[in-house]
Structure 1
Amino acid sequence: MSNKKKFIKDVIQQFTVKINQDEANDQLIHSLIFLGEHESYCRSYPEISDIIYHLEKDKFHILKENFALLDEITENKFAALLSNEKIAPENGKGEKIDNLLRFERHIKLSCYQRDYILSQTSDAERSARDAEKVAKKAKGKVGHIYSEFVGILAIFTAMSFTMMGSVQVLGNLFHDVKLWGKSSIGYALVIGGIYILIMYLIIMILLVGMKKLYGDDDNDYKFTPKIVRAVIEISIFMIVTGILSIWMLK
């Protein structure tokens, strides 16, 4: 760090603490006198901006307070110091005052620029967070749709094989029914009733599996009582009727 930047940083740091005008502030006044005598220091815009941009948040706030850059602050401590007779013996006129006013203007400009940059950064971070949330939500939906698609294919495949197997089993069961007499009809009713119960049980198992894949784990799959009762009653009726038909014909 050059001696020029080091001195400018030291001056700015003195304004990052609250200034009490009732005190002498000899060191600060001495620094301002030296600063005002060196126009090149007051025109060191890159160095001034760099120092202010890297100030800590609390120090930056106090700096703005001393330069009356806050809405609730109206007293400019820097301007008040320029009225000191050690700094402005010529009633506030001269090259020294012009240099210090030039330094003050760039301090204020750098503060405005930092506030603007921070506001833009905050907006960008907020937009980035919103975009990240949307991306995660979209990714979750895509993954959910993919898993549902795979699960549905698996379930329908299982149902297809089950139906094909059950048809083959039913054909084997009815293989011995050659003549459609009363005994054959009874035998068919018994087999049909058992077949309906077995098929409905398989369908129930598949529906419960679908519920576990896509439903809420805290809630069990709910069957319609009327349908369950009707299937059981029809199956029992067919089995009992078939058994009675076979028994009566013996």
Structure 2
Amino acid sequence: MEKQEVSVKEVLEIFIRYPIYDIDNAEVNNKIQKLIDNLGKSEKICKNYSVISKTIYSLNEIDFANLKIFFGIESEDHFSQFSNSSPLGSKGKDNLQHFWRHVVLSCYQRQYIDSITKDVNENVSKASEIMENIEVELNKANDNIETVGKKFKTVTQKANQAENKVNGIYSEFVGILGVFTALSFALMGSVQVFGNILKNIDTPTMGNIGYVLIVGGIYLILIYLIIMTLFIGMKKVFDNKNSKYKFNWIFTLCIVTVSITLIILGIRLV
């Protein structure tokens, strides 16, 4: 089997080199004619289809093109001319006809395979280009999405800042109203109380002054508690975590100290 395969290769290589030579050279034509005559006598080579196909499929592009020229696929059929000129009998020419037919068939099959392969490669190349374009577009889309996301985040932050400012303005405004309201209630109450106390005092004595100091100390604490209660109540209404409406313990200590001092002085004077 290996010997037949080598023989087929040798025969086809001679046919491949024929278009390179001078086809009008009588010596070359005589050698080709003798080769074809001997080929017609070898039925095993002429009808060894698998080896012929395998050999043709493994040819490079240049050798394959020369082989097609010799067998008349794309030009004049030189093989048939030599075959018709052969003195072989019917069996020998039948062997040559089988050999020619299978070589031509294998050439057409290879052309078809090459065409399919070329189309597949072109389609793969186009598909690769399309995928690359899609990837580029996806990258652009992702970049645009990231840009929009950053802008949206910036707008959201600015909106939150604006909302915080508005809430702060509302809080401060209500706080101011609360301060004036608390002071108004406290002052009206304290003025009325002190007015009633002083109204009942005809002649100021140390006891009366002490009594006034005791009442003043108590009302000082009450006024402070009322004002801070209003502030803390506003904090609960707005539920603002940044609100600073809470007891200032240092100031509260000062108020309590002053109130206690007034009460103690008042008690001593009484």
Name the TM-score class by shorter chain: 0.5 to 0.7
Aligned residue in 2 for 1:8:
8
Partner of 2:27: 24
1:81 aligns with 2:85: no
Q: Does 1:131 align with 2:135?
A: no
Q: What does 1:149-164 align with in structure 2 at a 5 Å threshold? A: 149-164=145-160
User: What is aligned with 1:57?
Assistant: 61
Secondary structure at the counterpart of residue 55 of structure 1? coil
> Are the counterparts in 2 of residues 36 and 96 from structure 1 also a CA contact under 8 Å?
yes
Corresponding letter in the other structure for 1:143: N
Larger radius of gyration, structure 1 or 2? 2
Taking the aligned partners of 2:112 and 2:168, their CA distance within structure 1 comes to 84
Three-state SS of the structure 2 residue aligned to 1:24 is helix
3-state secondary structure, aligned to 2:26: coil
Structure 1, unaligned runs of 5 or more: 180-250
**How many Å apart are 1:83 and its aligned residue?**
3.9
Matches within 5 A, 1:47-196: 47-70=51-74, 73=75, 75-84=76-85, 87-88=86-87, 93-166=89-162, 168=164
Q: How many residues of Structure 1 are paired with residues of Structure 2 in the alignment?
A: 171
Identity in percent: 24
The answer for the alignment partner of 1:38 in structure 2 is 42
TM-score (norm 2): 0.56
Deviation at 1:35, TM superposition (A): 1.9
Residue 95 (structure 1) shift: 1.3
Structure 2 Cα separation of the partners of residues 145 and 56 of structure 1: 46
The TM-score with structure 1 as length reference comes to: 0.60
Matches of residues 166-245 of structure 1 in structure 2 within 5 Å? 166=162, 168=164
CA–CA separation in structure 2 for the residues paired with 1:122 and 1:154: 47
Q: Secondary structure, in 3 states, of the residue corresponding to 2:27?
A: coil
What RMSD over aligned residues (CA atoms) do the two structures have, in Å?
Answer: 2.6
Query: C-alpha displacement at 1:167, in angstroms?
Result: 5.2
CA distance in 2, matches of 1:21, 1:101: 24
2:140 is matched by which residue type in structure 1? Answer: H
